[in-house]
Amino acid sequence: MVLRPEQLRLADADTAGVVTGTVTDVCFYGHDAKVTVAVPGLDHPVDVRVAGPSQVGPGRRTGVRVTGEATLHP
């Protein structure tokens, strides 16, 4: 399954149906930011694009949810 960072959204970690993890890095690009989240059980961290400056920082627990359609590639 392939998901682009802009297909993911940060959510409150206590929201039903989200995957929870810990923010490990935030890279600001001016108009948006990339938030990297380590999710237990995944081999690699998840990158989430957020509009504007991020409201979360490294070490903070957060939820991640998928928006839109996902594509499965064999």
DSSP character for 45?
-
* Cα angle 38-32-10, degrees, rounded to a multiple of 5: 40
Task: Sort 2 into a burial class: Cβ within 10 Å, 0-12 / 13-18 / 19+.
Answer: exposed
- Reported as a pLDDT band with limits 50, 70 and 90, residue 74 is low
Distance between CA atoms of residues 13 and 31, nearest Å: 25
* Cα angle 51-53-56, degrees, rounded to a multiple of 5: 105
CATH superfamily of 5-66: Nucleic acid-binding proteins (2.40.50.140)
* Choice between 4 and 39, residue whose per-residue pLDDT is larger: 39
User: What is the pLDDT at residue 73?
Assistant: 63
- Reported as a pLDDT band with limits 50, 70 and 90, residue 52 is confident
Indicate the helix (H) or strand (E) that contains 20: strand 19-28
pLDDT in tens, 11-45: 999 999 899 999 999 999 888 999 999 999 989 99
User: What is the pLDDT at residue 6?
Assistant: 81
